[in-house]
A and B are shown apart, each in its own frame.
Chain A
C-alpha cells in the first residue's frame, strides 16, 4: 500500500516529522531498526549550550544567538520563527504524552552523570539541575552492585559548587544492576511506599533533596518518584547515567506509542537494501525484501553516529540508501582530536534551505527531506544542541513536506 510519506530511521527528528505529518492528515510509514540515538541522550531538550565558535563559552539564551550561527547551520535553514513554533509545539506534545518539558526561555544547568553542569533549554519535572539543588544537602543514592552511575564523581563535583552531599547505599528492587533492569524493577514494584519507607532510616536527617540515578522506571516513573517524594518528604530528582539512557528511552517509547495510536505504521528492519527514485514516487526495499512505496521520503537515519552514513577508509562519506550527495570539504583526514571529531560531526547530506537533498548528477529533490544528525554543518556534542536541532528540523521537514503534498493535490 502506498503512503504519503516514508520516514527512514527511528530518531527523534523522524518521530517529530511523523507526528507532525499525521497531524496534517497524511499517512506515514516509519522504517528503521529501532533503538535510535535517544538511547544515548540524557534527559532534557538541549537547544544550544555552547557557542560553536568557542566551546568554553556557555550560552544563556540560545534563541537569541541563532542569527549569529553560520548560514549553513540547520537552525539557520529552519529559521528562528519555525524553531520557536517547533519548540512550542513540542512542549505541548510532551505534556500530552506525559513527558512534560518546561521551557523558561533561558538555559538551565543540568547535573551531568559526573556532576558537571550541562546547559539545557527544556527540563523535565524530576531532572536534577543546579537551580533545584544549589545550596541544599543532597542524599546521593548508590545502588549496590550498579556500575553505570559514577556517584563518587557526582559527589565531588557538587561539593565544589556548594551542594553538600552524602552517599547513601541502597539495594535496588530485585537487586537489579543494569539500567533497563533497574527501570523494569521499579516499574514492577508493587509496594513503592513500603520500599521507600524501608529506605528512610538510612537517609541522613539533614538531607533536603534526594538524587537518584535516572533509572526510576520506564513507564511508571511518575508513580515511583511521587511515592518517593511522599514517603521521604523531600524532592526526589534524577541524575543521568551512562547509556542506555532511561529518560531517552521513555521519550522514544512515548513518542512511538503516540504515533502508533495515531495509526502510523512502524516497520522494523536493520537497513535499506535499495530504492527507486522518481519525481512523484519513491520505492524503498528493506533488507528483508519488503517493498514500501510513497510520494516522498524523509531521511532521519542518524548520520554517521547511527550508521546512516558510511565513512570509508579513504575518509570519503557515503549516503548509500539513496545516493544523496554528501558534504565534506575534502576527504576526512585525522588532524588534532578536536578537528577530527568536528569533521566527523559536521559531515552529512547537503541540502537546500528547505532541507531537500541533491542526488548525484541532478538538482535538489522535490520529494525528499533530510533531518537531524543526517544534516551537515552542526556539531551536536560540541554545541550541546542535539534535541533542539532534531525537533526543529523534524518539524520543518514535515511542514515542507506538507507544502509539497498540497501542491500535488492542487495539480
Chain B
C-alpha cells in the first residue's frame, strides 16, 4: 500500500450536488481540490428534479437498505443545511387505483428502514389537503422534506472555496493526462483558453455525463439514463409532499417547493444525457395521471414543464425487466488498469453526502492517505448570498428597507441590490446564473419583465458583455418551458412574453442560440 507524505491533490469533474459534495468531503480531509464544471453549478440533474429531500419511504418496499440510507442522510442534510431545507413532511395516500395490499407492505418497509411512519385517518388527511382526491382510502405520514438544490449546491461550493479549494465553472474537460497507467491530470478549456491541471486523483462525478467522461480514457460506466419530466403548478397546492402509495413508478408525486407545486415525473430511458426536451405527449400523460391525485389540475395554471436525466447505475448482468436500483456505486478504475481515476454514479440528491463519503474513503484507501470523513459533523456555514427562498422572507426585508420600487423580479421578490451584489462581488455575467441563484424568472411572468432589467444591470458592470444575445438566450430558455403548458392564463402569458420581447424589446427569436452547451 503506497503512503503519501503530502496532502494529495484531487480534481473533481462535475459541479452538481455530488461533485460539490465530493470536493467538500476531500477538502475537509485535507486534499487540495479543484472542481471543474462544464456549465454553471447545479445546472444539470441537481436542478432538474422535483426538489424532494427523501425520507426514503418511497423506496421502503423496493429497496429497504437504500431507504434507510436516505433517512439517515435526510437528517444529516437537514441539520447541516437547515437554511435550504423545508420540513414539509410527506404523505403517502392510497387511492382506489393503487394496489390495496401495498399499504401494509409500505408500513412494514418504513419500520424496517427506520423511517418514522404513522397511519393517519383518511378524512383528516383530506381535510388538511383540500386539493387532493376525495377518495383517499389509507394515508401515512413520513418525514419527507424539500430542498432548494441550487442553494445547497452553492453552499457546498462556498464551503470548498473557504477551505482553499478551487471551483472552475464554464470549464470543459477536453482530455486526460495519463502517465504509466496513472491518472495525473486533466486538460480543460474555457473562455480564457486551454490549460492542464495536475492532480494525484481524478474523480468523475459528472452525473449523466459521467459515461462520456470515462470514455475519454477508454473506460465504460454502465449508466441507464432515465429522463423525468415535471410540471410546475402556479401554487404549492399541497402543504406536504404527497405521494401515491404504490410501487414507485412515474407521475405519482406532488412536491410543494418555493412558490410552486411540482408534479412528476415521467420516466423514459434515453441515450443522450442532453435530452432535456419535453414531448407534448408527456404533458398529457402527466395531466391524465395528475388528475387522479389532483382532480382539478386541468383548471390550474401551470407555469412550465422541464426534464432532467437521472444517472442510474446499472450493475452488469442486471435483468432488463427489473427496475434499476437507486443506490449509488463507486467505480475504482484502478481495478481495470487506470490508477487514480474513480467514478461515482447512481444515488440521488438526498444521498449526495454519503456518496461523497464512500468515494472519499476509497480514494484515501488507494492513496494510503489516512484521513477520516468529517463532512457529516462539520457545519456548513451559511453563504453570503442570504436571499431567503420563502417569499415571506423577502417581503419582510422589502418592508423593512422600504425598497418596493427596486424589485427587479416582482414574481419572486428579488431586489436590485441582491442582483448587483452577485454581479459586482461574485463575477456573475449571465442572466441564467442569476436566475439559478435568485429564482429570477421562475414566477408567473417567466422572465417577461425581469429579463431586460437584469440584462441592463449586467451591462452596467460588464459593458463588453453581449447582453442582448444573453437576453435572447434567457428568453428562449424560458419559452422552452412555457410552450408546453400554454393553456388558460399561461397561453396568454406565452403570447405576452412574445409580444414584449419581439415588439418592444426588438429581440428576435433565435432558438439556436439557446442550444449552446452553456445553457443545457
Contacts and interface: CB of A to CB of B under 8 A. Distances in A.
A392 interface: no
Contact of A337 (B457, B479, B508): B479
Given A145-B406, A305-B492, A334 B283 contact: yes
B498 A341 contact: yes
B508 A55 contact: yes
Nearest to A387: B503
A115 B495 CA distance: 22
A335 B471 CA distance: 22
Interface in B475-520: 476, 479-480, 483-484, 486-488, 491-492, 494-496, 498-509, 511
A148 to B, nearest CB: 7
Contacts of B284: 314
B487 A315 contact: yes
Contacts of A242: 449, 452-453, 500, 504
Contacts of A150: 452-453, 455-456, 459
Contact of A153 (B456, B500, B508): B456
Interface in A143-198: 145, 147-148, 150-153, 155-157, 177-178
Given A337-B476, A381-B498, A117 B491 contact: no
Contact of A341 (B298, B455, B460, B479): B479
Given A150-B455, A156-B463, A304-B492, A112 B504 contact: yes
Nearest to A176: B405
Nearest to A110: B506
A223 interface: no
A7 B506 CA distance: 32
B319 interface: no
Contacts of A157: 468
B400 to A, nearest CB: 18
A45 to B, nearest CB: 12
A236 interface: no
A313 B298 contact: yes
B280 interface: yes
* B298, B452, B479, B511 interface centre (most CB from chain A within 10 Å): B452
B500 A118 contact: no
A78 interface: no
B416 interface: yes
B168 interface: no
- How many B residues touch the partner, as a band? 35 or more
Contacts of B407: 147
Contacts of A156: 459, 463, 467-468
B363 interface: no
A384 interface: yes
- Interface of A, helix, strand, loop or mixed by DSSP: loop
A159 to B, nearest CB: 9
Interface in B377-435: 405-408, 416
B278 interface: yes
Given A40-B496, A150-B455, A334 B484 contact: yes
Given A147-B405, A382-B502, A337 B511 contact: yes
Contacts of A55: 508-509
A208 to B, nearest CB: 22
A115 B468 CA distance: 9
A10 interface: no
Given A112-B506, A148-B453, A311 B468 contact: no
A115 B298 CA distance: 40
Interface in B252-278: 278
Contacts of A304: 491-492, 495
A151 B456 contact: yes
B287 interface: yes
Contacts of A151: 456
Nearest to B496: A305
Nearest to A116: B506
A147 B453 contact: yes
Contacts of B496: 40, 305
Contact of B495 (A145, A155, A305): A305
A153 B492 contact: no
A391 interface: no
Given A304-B492, A305-B499, A116 B405 contact: no
A56 B488 contact: no
A41 B503 contact: yes
Contact of A116 (B468, B480, B494, B511): B468
A215 B501 CA distance: 19
Contacts of A344: 486, 491, 494-495
A345 interface: yes
B473 to A, nearest CB: 12
A384 B502 contact: yes
A151 B457 CA distance: 9
A307 B468 contact: no
Interface in A297-318: 304-307, 310-315
A241 B506 CA distance: 11
Nearest to A177: B405
B509 to A, nearest CB: 6
A77 interface: no
Nearest to A240: B504
A243 B500 contact: yes
A122 interface: no
A40 B500 contact: yes
- Most chain B beta-carbon neighbours within 10 Å: one of A37, A152, A178, A306: A152
A116 B507 contact: yes
Given A145-B405, A245-B504, 4 more contacts: A55-B509, A340-B483, A341-B509, A381-B503
18 contacts: A46-B503, A56-B508, A112-B505, A113-B506, A114-B468, A114-B505, A116-B507, A148-B453, A151-B456, A153-B455, A153-B468, A178-B405, A242-B453, A305-B495, A313-B298, A338-B511, A381-B499, A382-B509
- Which 9 pairs across A and B sit closest by C-beta, in order of nearness? A112-B506, A116-B506, A150-B456, A340-B483, A152-B459, A311-B491, A381-B502, A333-B280, A305-B495
